[in-house]
Amino acid sequence: MRDFIEFALHNWLLFVAMFAIAGMLVGSEVLRKVRGVSALDAAGVLRLLNDQDAVIVDVGNVGEYKDGHIAQARHIPLNALQERLGELAKIKDKPIVLYCRTGATSQSACTLLKKNGFTNVHSLNGGLPTWLDAKLPISRKKS
């Protein structure tokens, strides 16, 4: 135990970084739960797309969208989402899945939609890499 304490004292910066990272991970999960945003894996998104005719929206920037996106995804960047809510109003009762490159931007987009009366809102947990890890296809065509 004494060796561990000595190691910790000599490497205090390492321990501060470890606790900061752990705090951020826990904090982001708590924030997601508080916001009431459902995070789905790729299989969950596929089930919504196939069984409930969900709408999928890429909220990443234009460059990210051009680099590759889920084939049937609409592109509405987060910075334009508030002004383009009308495009989604007619499908307000359908499940809507939002995604981006990491999952962070889509969490914010989900919160915005929830504040505007959308109830069946989900985020692709982990973003596009989760989709790719599941060996699912992407498109580089404009839609």
Active site residues: 100
How many CB atoms are closer than 10 A to CB 25? Answer: 10
Q: How many CB atoms lie within 10 A of CB 46?
A: 16
* Residues 112/82, Cβ–Cβ less than 8 Å: yes
Distances (CA, A) of 97 to 2, 32, 62, 107, 110: 51, 15, 18, 10, 8
Contact 136, 46 (CB under 8 A): yes
